[in-house]
Chains A and B, each alone.
Chain A
Amino acid sequence: MNIVVLVKQVPDSGSERKLDSSDNTVARASADNVINEMDEYAIEEALTVKESQGGEVTVLTVGPGSATDAIRKALSMGADKAVHVTDDAVHGSCAVQTSAVIAAALQQLEYDLVLCGAESTDGQVSVMPALLSERLGIPHLSGARKLTVEGTTVRVERQTDGGYWMLESSLPAIVSTWDTINEPRYPSFKGIMAAKKKPVETKSLADLGVDPASVGLATATSRVLDFAGRPPKGEGVKVADEGDGAEKLVGYLAAQKLV
């Protein structure tokens, strides 16, 4: 069972995040960059499948040179090797362009299962697995909260607001996972030290046979035109209790359409 996990490095959602004022792309240099939190669940799931079925877990990331930190984290959790696609031309790419790059990289790998997080905390576009499924012609099972593999069949429980759907497909397939699927392990110290020695293959767009002119901000299918910070919180509303406090509270909540 060969599993590829898609991993993205994002600015830490717990710290202040900014867009670069020159081109409205994510400002990476000034941010604490971390592995996208949801991806840790995908890595954990890949490792769990590998532990029961054997095989290899490969991490695939597209990102700047500094994304090696995210790769190391994934390798220290127990992934076997990594492919790092890095090329200045990718800067500012939209999801559609990025999916072409990832698909080209996947085509150079052997995989039975591709796993990824259901969303990334930076762009939150959440379409990557669907785009890849289309480009690679493989089934897409989205939003898994449970995953089992038997022979060449994968089954997932797709989480929904009201409950879950049971989905099944043949392999190879791409599955996106939610944070309800498992509890990601901490990287063990042995894992951290072993990660240093695990193979990380760096590839450029030329290595993937992708035309640099087909990606990047200039030809992106979508781009950020403008942005504004969330307006500061207004003054709170004070409800004076003159024996009718409960009524006033419920009235307020109803007016806000909260009840």
Chain B
Amino acid sequence: MAPGTASLTRPRAPLALFDLDGLVAPEELAIRDTVRRFVDDRVAPHVAGWWEDGVLPIRELARELGDLGVLGMHLEGHGCAGTTATAYGLACLELEAGDSGLRSLVSVQGSLAMYAIHAFGSDEHRDRWLPAMARGEAIGCFGLTEPDFGSDPAGMRTTARRDGTDWVLTGTKMWITNGSVADVAVVWARTEDGIRGFVVPTDTPGFSAPAIAHKMSLRASVTSELVLDGVRLPADAVLPGAAGLSGPLSCLDEARFGIVFGALGAARDSLESALAYSQSRIIFDRPLASYQLTQAKLADMTLELGKGVLLALHLARLKDAGRLAPDQVSLGKLNSVREAIAIARECRTVLGAAGIVAEYPMMRHAANLESVLTYEGTSEVHQLVIGRAVTGMAAFR
């Protein structure tokens, strides 16, 4: 048979080649399958349109995700499902195969806002917010970044000043996911005793959250500015368990862990779509997939995707064993997002012109991953973290 016309074996999905399911417990696979089905049914048919229109039906999706148990799924008690970190990671992968905006909604709700309240809040904070947030009836956001302080949050200018027993918050937060739709904001501010976190109901006078328009990335997600104009809060609004920057940084570690898996979902979706296209696209009388140059691309992408998932699963097992260090999360975040964006872009080349329209997902994923590359610590910052770990020398400033 002429090269390229031979069809000796049935094609396999890229990740099936790695035969990874045996590394995961049956309930974790069941959770993954439920999320995959939800994304196929409820998200995939609409997401290109949402992205193009710059909208996401957050309230509706949050309730449905709440019914499944996705929101705060890896937290214990207070209406949360209490799954393993591995199950949480696999759920993030499936969500982001839908769209990074959907996964961002879930990350911010569960790993940033709910986690902060769960880990550092008072019993009253937990009772008031966590069950409603787990059900998706209350939406949370997490305000750390400011217009002038992203990679260096220690420089933040937002202040919380004592007035009698009250707190008064003043300042501006920037690039805050879910900001304009949130019912509650976890806001980090400078006090006389260092950085503290505050639970801010968004209907408090002085709080506003205008959405940021004209985004070319993460369009199916709400990103906002938080304006805190003398927001007066009672004494018990402060998170009692967090003092200093280690509080918000540990929340970011949680969310980053989800991205280690999530970004690979965007890569998988891109690769599956490019593979299918290359098999049906006839060029010079033969399927595009039958050319060696195309196969080199597909093979390399398959390999990077599988390696990424293996690293992610390894980090998940460390996390489930309580041994995952922040430096190790940096390894995964840097690798997953960097490889995912490379895969999405390479997949776009496989489609030629067709790759630039919304009918195919890779351009949307690639554009989304620009945000994912930046938030939760930029790639450069994670290189600095890993560099510090292996040299013993910090090069941040």
Chain A interface (Cβ < 8 Å from any Cβ of B):
72-73, 76, 185-190, 192-193, 195-196
A72-B26, A73-B30, A76-B30 known; A189+B38 contact, CB < 8 A: no
Q: Do B31 and A192 touch across chains, with their CB atoms under 8 A apart? A: yes
**Among listed B62-70, B111-119, B153-161, interface-contacting one:** B62-70
Q: Do A193 and B81 touch across chains, with their CB atoms under 8 A apart? A: yes
Select from chain A the residue with minimum beta-carbon distance to B25. Answer: A196
Inter-chain contacts of B67 with A (CB < 8 A): 185-186, 188
Please, how many angstroms separate the alpha-carbon atoms of A73 and B30 in the complex? 8
Inter-chain contacts of A188 with B (CB < 8 A): 34, 67-69, 81
Q: Do A192 and B30 touch across chains, with their CB atoms under 8 A apart? A: yes
Please, how many angstroms separate the alpha-carbon atoms of A195 and B31 in the complex? 12
Q: How far is the CB of A219 from chain B (nearest CB, A)?
A: 36
Contact flags B70-100 to A (C-beta < 8 A → 1, else 0):
1001000000011100010000000000000
- 11 CB contacts below 8 A, A to B, read A72-B30, A187-B30, A188-B34, A188-B81, A189-B34, A189-B68, A189-B69, A189-B81, A189-B83, A190-B81, A193-B82
Identify which of B30, B69, B73 gathers the most chain A CB atoms within 10 Å of its CB.
B30
Select from chain A the residue with minimum beta-carbon distance to B10. Answer: A16
Q: Do A192 and B34 touch across chains, with their CB atoms under 8 A apart? A: yes
Inter-chain contacts of A195 with B (CB < 8 A): 27, 30
Please, how many angstroms separate the alpha-carbon atoms of A73 and B73 in the complex? 19
Please, how many angstroms separate the alpha-carbon atoms of A76 and B69 in the complex? 13
Contact of B73 among A72, A186, A187, A189 (CB under 8 A): A189
Select from chain A the residue with minimum beta-carbon distance to B91. Answer: A189
Chain B interface (Cβ < 8 Å from any Cβ of A):
26-27, 30-31, 34, 37-38, 67-70, 73, 81-83, 87
Q: Do A190 and B69 touch across chains, with their CB atoms under 8 A apart? A: yes
Contact of A186 among B38, B81, B82, B87 (CB under 8 A): B38
Q: Do B70 and A189 touch across chains, with their CB atoms under 8 A apart? A: yes
Please, how many angstroms separate the alpha-carbon atoms of A189 and B69 in the complex? 5
Q: Do A186 and B30 touch across chains, with their CB atoms under 8 A apart? A: no
Q: Do A187 and B82 touch across chains, with their CB atoms under 8 A apart? A: no
Please, how many angstroms separate the alpha-carbon atoms of A195 and B25 in the complex? 13
Inter-chain contacts of A190 with B (CB < 8 A): 69, 81
Please, how many angstroms separate the alpha-carbon atoms of A72 and B26 in the complex? 10
Contact of A187 among B34, B70, B83 (CB under 8 A): B34
Please, how many angstroms separate the alpha-carbon atoms of A195 and B26 in the complex? 11
Please, how many angstroms separate the alpha-carbon atoms of A188 and B68 in the complex? 4
Inter-chain contacts of B69 with A (CB < 8 A): 188-190
Inter-chain contacts of B87 with A (CB < 8 A): 189
Contact of B37 among A186, A189, A192, A196 (CB under 8 A): A186
Identify which of B26, B37, B38 gathers the most chain A CB atoms within 10 Å of its CB.
B26
Select from chain A the residue with minimum beta-carbon distance to B64. Answer: A186
Identify which of A72, A189, A192 gathers the most chain B CB atoms within 10 Å of its CB.
A189
Inter-chain contacts of B70 with A (CB < 8 A): 189
Complex A-B, nearest 10 residue pairs according to Cβ-Cβ distance, in ascending order: A189-B69, A189-B81, A192-B30, A188-B69, A190-B81, A186-B34, A192-B27, A190-B69, A187-B34, A189-B31
Please, how many angstroms separate the alpha-carbon atoms of A6 and B118 in the complex? 42
Inter-chain contacts of A76 with B (CB < 8 A): 30
Beyond the given pairs A186-B37, A187-B30, A190-B81, 11 more chain A to chain B contacts, judged by CB atoms under 8 angstroms and listed by A's residue number, are A185-B67, A186-B38, A187-B34, A188-B69, A189-B68, A189-B69, A189-B73, A189-B83, A189-B87, A190-B69, A193-B83
